[in-house]
Chains A and B, each alone.
Chain A
Amino acid sequence: LQILSALSLLQVLFFGFGWLFFMRKLFKDYEVRQYVVQVIFSVTFAFSCTMFELIIFEILGVLNSSSRYFHWKLNLCVILLILVFMVPFYIGYFVVSNIRLLHRQKLLFACVLWLTFMYFFWKLGDPFPILSPKHGILSIEQLISRVGVIGVTLMALLSGFGAVNCPYTYMSYFLRNVTDADILALERRLLQTMDMIVSKKKRIAVAHRTMFQRGEVNNKPTGFWGMIKSVTTSVSGSENLSLIQQEVDALEELSRQLFLETADLHATKERIEYSKTFQGKYFNFLGYFFSIYCVWKIFMATINIVFDRVGKTDPVTRGIEITVNYLGIQFDVKFWSQHISFILVGIIIVSSIRGLLITLTKFFYAISSSKSSNVIVLLLAQIMGMYFVSSVLLIRMSMPLEYRIIITEVLGELQFNFYHRWFDVIFLVSALSSILFLYLAHKQAPEKHMAL
């Protein structure tokens, strides 16, 4: 009973952390009006973290295995309930509330949206060989397998992009050379463009005012003489105006481009200055390491796919094997394997949680507005839940055999090999397309800069 209370305390702690994160980081600039959203986000976060906590308990041997198994099952059920039923329903509900037309029957349309979601969710399972036919329709395995597919795809996409973007951002080799004179010149151009826009708008405003004062508000000529007059005077006036308006539109577009380029130059200059500091040099060094690591990962992914091979042993056991067999160092395998795998798994968990939260925050800032903030946060909660569930799936590979058993037991007979293969494929695709994308972006920028 003591242990139960300790566990619930931990859960409350996770919940509190999720709540704080939501308030301080995500919803920094918005007012929380629907507390449901905040609760759902924190609950999803809390239960996802509990899963990781259970893995750690597994390694450390806390509690006895039957109660661990029970907690696993319970947690899994709750998470699936949230991810498949609650969050999509609320997403549908908030999307519908934003559309003014459907205001009357919000619940009805929310249910309709949820049913559509379930349909597509179910259909997702068909093209993938993820289930053995002996499971029933409404079993945990069905749901988990589908959630796993989506989550693994997300993980692989993010990892692939991160693996390429990380060295690109850290290493200063890629930084273009920006001088203060460049920035000043660009700013001057920007201000000149703004002045041109202002003078043209003044002409339009003056013309409108004169027309207004002359009583030609509608600009509709009446009567015979009115028509004759309009041919000679007003027509040329309004044609002139529309011409000026077009020029203004073009100039405004130009000013936007110049603004974005100036912001880009300022950011690059900041990065150059940062790279000259100690921290910058340290990160630069790390960047070289990371790039080697990423190249190695891409290479391994390709080999895995080409040679149709899925790793059988985890890094911990292999590392221990190598040290014992080749280096001849004898030590207590059991003891060390437990501790090393604990540390390794712990690092993987913490870094993936942190990485995900940071990415989600950046994403949220980039695309949310005051109207859509609720929907976007719920989408992010959904993504986060699926991500964490599938990272449990994949983490299985990094753990020694004796700890894998419980995950295999709890999650049922999923084809784990498929998920690893799928991860490798998507990782490769994502990494290669990120390389292409970054290459194009990098090439394009200095050309634009030179063209000034």
Chain B
Amino acid sequence: MAALDRVKVLVLGDSGVGKSSLVHLLCHNQVLGNPSWTVGCSVDVRIHDYKEGTPEEKTYYIELWDVGGSVGSATSVKSTRAVFYNLLNGIILVHDLTNKKSSQNLYRWSLEALNRDVAPTGVLVTNGDYDREQFADNQIPLLVIGTKLDQIPEAKRNEVLTRTAFLAEDFNAEEINLDCTNPRYLAAGSSNAVKLSRFFDKVIEKRYFLRDGNQIPGFSERKRFGGGTMKSLHYD
């Protein structure tokens, strides 16, 4: 069992949005009793069944790295944080539904983490400004989670949910809105749990299955060079 394969997912967001509570909920299915400031980085592990319910089911470890701090930190703190961004396979962006600034800061958080990861596809950044095309090209799966849903009064809920839907679209990611002090939002079978599961499956796929000599990338490359004839040759 200890020889399970592993996948690394970063959990990013402003201070006080509820990352530690979220990670605790995801890993232990329990509510965190006494949340306190995260100094540095805290890691937790979730055991996930890839392709649950199918014959290809396999269990993986998902390491959730919860990096503390704020986006406007000093450069020295940012360089220290950068050490955790190596070899990452997925990012969960957490924002507070009651605080618009935390949602806006997600753009800067994602740029900070993606800049560090010099993947072959190369996320080109011109001057640090947000550019939607970067995210379309991005190979690392993202998930946007909004917390403190219970603190939004019913009347304002629609407005807030529309705003977060735009946000998730910008990142080309799925979104989940919940309250970290209530496990029922991630109860098995709920739509949130399905989205979460799909996200983790996508992360695992990108990490393990697109490198296995899968035909698909090569196929599209050939398509770029050749034309219809090459395609038919391949099939023959």
A314 within 8 A of B: no
**Which of chain A's residues have a CB closer than 8 A to the CB of B45?**
198, 201-202, 205
| Residue from the list A31, A206, A263, A266 in contact with B2, Cβ < 8 A | A206
Nearest CB in chain B to that of A190: its residue = B83
Q: Select the stretch in B50-58, B74-82, B164-172, B209-217 that faces chain A.
A: B74-82
The one of A28, A203, A210 that contacts B72, using a Cβ cutoff of 8 Å: A28
| Distance in angstroms between the alpha carbons of A194 and B42 in the assembled complex | 8
Q: Which residues of B contact A267 (CB under 8 A)?
A: 74, 76
B39 touches A29 (CB 8 A): no
A259 touches B72 (CB 8 A): no
- Residues facing B in A68-126 (CB within 8 A) are none
Taking the closest CB of chain A, its distance from the CB of B234, in whole angstroms, is 43
B185 close to A (CB within 8 Å)? no
A153 to chain B, nearest CB (A): 30
CB neighbours of B14 from chain A (8 A)? 29
Taking the nearest CB of chain A, how far is it from the CB of B27, in angstroms? 7
CB of B1 closer than 8 Å to a CB of A: yes
Q: Does B99 contact A (CB under 8 A)?
A: yes
Which residues, 184 to 227 on A, are CB-close (under 8 Å) to B?
A: 187, 190-191, 194, 197-198, 201-203, 205-206, 209-210
A170 CA to B120 CA, complexed, in Å? 43
Q: Which residue of B lies closest to A195 (CB)?
A: B43
Nearest A residue to B14 by beta-carbon distance?
A29
The answer for the CA separation of A334 and B157 in the assembled complex, in Å, is 69
Q: B101 contacts the other chain (Cβ, under 8 Å)?
A: yes
A313 sits at the interface (CB 8 A): no
Whole-angstrom CA separation of A201 from B83 in the bound complex? 21
The residue of chain B having its C-beta at the shortest distance from the C-beta of A199 within the complex is B2
B71 contact set on A, CB distance < 8 A: 29
Q: Closest CB-CB distance, A337 to chain B, in whole Å? A: 45
Number of chain B residues whose Cβ lies closer than 8 Å to a Cβ of chain A: 36
Whether the Cβ atoms of A259 and B40 lie closer than 8 Å is yes
Determine how close the nearest CB of chain B comes to the CB of A102; give it in whole angstroms: 18
B96 at the interface (CB under 8 A from A): yes
Query: Which residues of the partner chain B approach A252 to less than 8 Å between Cβ atoms?
Result: 42
Give Cα distance in the complex from A198 to B87, angstroms.
15
The answer for the CA separation of A263 and B67 in the assembled complex, in Å, is 14
Q: Is A256 an interface residue (CB 8 A)?
A: yes
Interchain CA distance A174-B80 in the complex, whole Å: 22
Question: Chain A residues with Cβ under 8 A from B44's Cβ?
Answer: 201
Q: How far is the CA of A252 from the CA of B42 in the complex (A)?
A: 7
From A31, A203, A260, residue with most partner B Cβ within 10 Å: A31
Knowing A205-B27, A209-B47, say if A370 contacts B75 (CB, 8 Å). no
Tell me, yes or no, whether B105 is within 8 Å of chain A by CB: yes
From residue A427, how far is it (CB to closest CB) to chain B in Å?
30
Closest to B105 in A: A29
Across the A-B interface, give the 7 residue pairs with the lowest CB-CB distance, nearest first.
A259-B40, A266-B76, A267-B76, A263-B80, A201-B45, A370-B16, A256-B39
Given contacts A194-B43, A201-B45, A369-B16, 11 further A-B contacts (CB under 8 A): A28-B72, A194-B84, A197-B43, A205-B27, A255-B41, A256-B39, A262-B83, A266-B76, A267-B74, A267-B76, A371-B16
